[in-house]
Amino acid sequence: MKKKKWIRIISIYSIIYTIITLLNSVLYLCNGIYEDPGGNWHELDRAMILLIGIAAFELCTNLPVKPLVLRYLIAYIPSQLLAFAYVWFSGLWEPLAKTAYGDIGINFTGLFVLLCIINTAVYVFKKKRGQEGKGKKE
């Protein structure tokens, strides 16, 4: 991969990780919890799950499959299964919350869907812009 693409991937990862961590901290504080009950493991788990999601998203944006929905499903299903597997393995070294699988299912899916919506909007915008450019040349 080109350096520009690596910088883009790392930037997206860093921005999303920061937003999620800040949102998590604000929600804890609003609920009167002043320390993350999961501690450092929770931060590392969040980083790994996000890495799985970003890798899957990069995969789905580069697959030569149409329509886009099928491309997204091809990337989503194995990555969601990998996220569940990661949660299961993390249960081997620390106890899981009762809602661990539900939480990862909702959070992973929500973030993946949001990224797919953004990617689809960019795709449609570029396609529309390309057609407008062709119309001006004629």
What's the average pLDDT block by block, 10 residues per block, for the chain (138 residues)?
85 90 89 81 87 84 83 90 93 86 90 88 86 59
The pTM for the full model equals 0.76
CA nearest neighbour of 53 among 7, 8, 84, 21: 84
Domain that holds residue 116: 40-137
Query: Does 23 reside within a domain?
Result: no
What confidence score (pLDDT) does residue 83 get? 93
Query: Does 89 reside within a domain?
Result: yes
- Contact in structure between 89 and 44 (CB atoms under 8 Å): no
Query: Does 96 reside within a domain?
Result: yes
Query: Does 15 reside within a domain?
Result: no
CA nearest neighbour of 76 among 120, 31, 115, 112: 112
**118 φψ region: left (φ > 0), alpha (ψ -120 to 50), beta (else):** alpha
* Total domains in the fold of the chain: 1
